[in-house]
Amino acid sequence: QVQLVESGGGLVQAGGSLRLSCAASGRTFSSLTLGWFRQAPGKEREFVVVITPSGGSTVLADSMKGRFTISRDNTKNTVYLQMNNLKPEDTAVYYCAARDGGPSVRLKEYYYWGQGTQVTVSS
């Protein structure tokens, strides 16, 4: 079993930055593939970015390229999502998720989920 706890969300103006954190416990962190997803009001949850267990490879959704970066610190059991140049359309609840195996953009392939953290970007 894996427990995931996100933090770092909040209200920011358009063009601003936020860094989300997700702390994991319950399993060997360095064996997990970790992803971030988001869900805007009235929309389906969507893939944002994923990072492999070693941190050597990432996959990022096209709409976030150049603005979002994922990283992980396996010594701290934490994964981060750095979000720059935020736009109002980035407003959503952001979820951290974990799975065994390789990177995936499909939310159904993730076994473990955090409770989410709200990000609100004002125009």
Tell me: pLDDT of 66 over 90: yes
3-state secondary structure of 41: coil
Tell me: pLDDT of 86 over 90: yes
First to last CA, the chain: 40
- What is the helix (H) or strand (E) element at residue 68, kind and residue range? strand 68-73
More confidently predicted of 63 and 40:
40
Residues 6+ positions from 28 with CB-CB distance below 8 Å: none
Q: What is the separation of C-alpha 121 from the centre of its chain, rounded to a whole number of angstroms?
A: 17
Residue 110 phi, psi dihedral angles, 5° rounding: -100, 130
Structure tokens at 56: 């050597």
Per-residue model confidence (pLDDT) at position 55 = 87
